[in-house]
Every structure is written in C-alpha cells, then in structure tokens.
Amino acid sequence: MAYGTDAAANLSAVSLSTEASDFQDVTVPATLESAGLGEDHSFFWYRLHITLPDSFKAFQGHDLILTGFNVDDADATYFNGTKIGSSGTFPTDPADPDNTGYVGKSGDVRTYTIPASLVNWTGDNVLAINGYENGGDSGITTGTPTLIVAPGTIPTAKLGDLNGDDKVNVQDATLSLRIAVGSITPTDAQKAAGDVNHDGKWNVQDTTLILRFAVGAITAFP
C-alpha cells in the first residue's frame, strides 16, 4: 500500500488521484513507526489501487465487503472517492491537548460494505483510508484490507452447469475437465456447480459424472 500525510484538505486529490509523488510504499500489517513514519496527534492516508480479478466478474452488480484489518487509532475509509464507513471519531482539532471529540477504535476489525454502483469491475479502483493517530503505535497493524463478495449475493448454482446456460451438456464436461487438470481457474459459481458428487473436491470423477449426465447415461447426480 502507499502512505501519505495530507490531512484531506482536498479529499478527491488524495483518494482518486493517480499522482504518487506524495506517497511512499509501505507494508501492511505493520506499525508506521517501524518504517520511520507516524507522529502523535496526526492524520495519515493509506491508498491502494485495485483491479479486480476475473473471478469477481461473475458477481458484477453485487455489493462487496471490505474487511480483515484494523486502523490504529480511528479511520474514515473511501472507495473510489466515496466514504464507505468509519470507526472511531477524529478529534475536533488535533492541536487541542484535550483531544475533544476523539474516540479511538484501534482494536476493531473494520468491515465496510461497498455498493456495487461504486465498483469498477474491469478497471482501476482506489481504496483510500484516512487515519488518525492519537499516540503510540499507528497504522494498519493487524490484518490486511480484503475484498469479498457480500454474503447472499453468490448466484445459486445448478449442479453441472458450468457455463451458465441453464443446461448440462458436453460443453460443461469440457470445462470441468479443464478445471480439474488446472488449465483454467474456476469462479466461485463454477466451484459450487462443479462438485457434483459432493465430496468437497473437484476432480475427474466430477467431470465423468457431468459427461454421463450430458449424454443421458444418468438422470441425476449422487
């Protein structure tokens, strides 16, 4: 990820700009202090450019979830320039010795919903995390930001139908064989449809069953 210290005088410039001159690469999880960064009572930014893998395209139009990380101490998080959530509360004035209004949530795992309308499914996306350090360690110190498909949005799979045409035919058997031997990577929907013998694995046995079903040798999967 990239780290910067602009305190959001111009949010769009920080959260969307491709200009990297004000940022430097950092590793997460790790304290900012371990990289010689971070100051008490100060704001900071993390920014990450994301291109979704092909496996996400099966879920285009569904919400995503950003989760799996903390921010020490408080944060406001943006996806493609739109705020998707916050944890804790920034102080009214960082220079105020009483830290008026400040609430820290350094130990909380962040879980924020990203509406499907914000997602660029085929190009660049920008995750921007505006953090505030009250004192001591700071930054993303536990876990890494992880994108998953929102629960309940994974399409219901028809067993054996790997190409999504609502039929089970020789084309599905061919796809199953290619996946079983590792020549292509299945989507989550294909994984759900391809394990036709329900053993929790995808192998040649599943392919054989799909082919037998396709040619009419069997009329149901085990």
| Strand-pair partners of 124 | 51
**Please, which residues have CB within 8 angstroms of residue 152's CB and are 6 or more apart in sequence?**
none
The highest-level CATH class for domain 155-222 is mainly alpha
Give the pLDDT score at 222: 77
Separation of alpha carbons 222 and 211, rounded Å = 14
Q: Where are the domains of the chain?
A: 2-149, 155-222
Q: What percentage of the chain reaches a pLDDT higher than 70?
A: 87
Whether 114 contacts 64, CB under 8 Å: yes
Instruction: Tell me the whole-structure pTM to 2 decimals.
Output: 0.66
Give the pLDDT score at 21: 54
Whether 31 contacts 38, CB under 8 Å: yes
Asked whether this chain's domains 2-149 and 155-222 adopt the same fold, the reply is no
- DSSP class of residue 63 equals -
Report the CATH fold assignment for 2-149: Jelly Rolls (2.60.120)
User: Tell me: the pLDDT tens digits for 140-173?
Assistant: 999 999 998 887 655 556 788 887 777 888 988 8
Radius of gyration of the chain (CA): 23
User: Tell me: the pLDDT tens digits for 88-130?
Assistant: 999 988 778 788 999 999 989 999 999 999 999 989 999 999 9
pLDDT at 207 over 60: yes
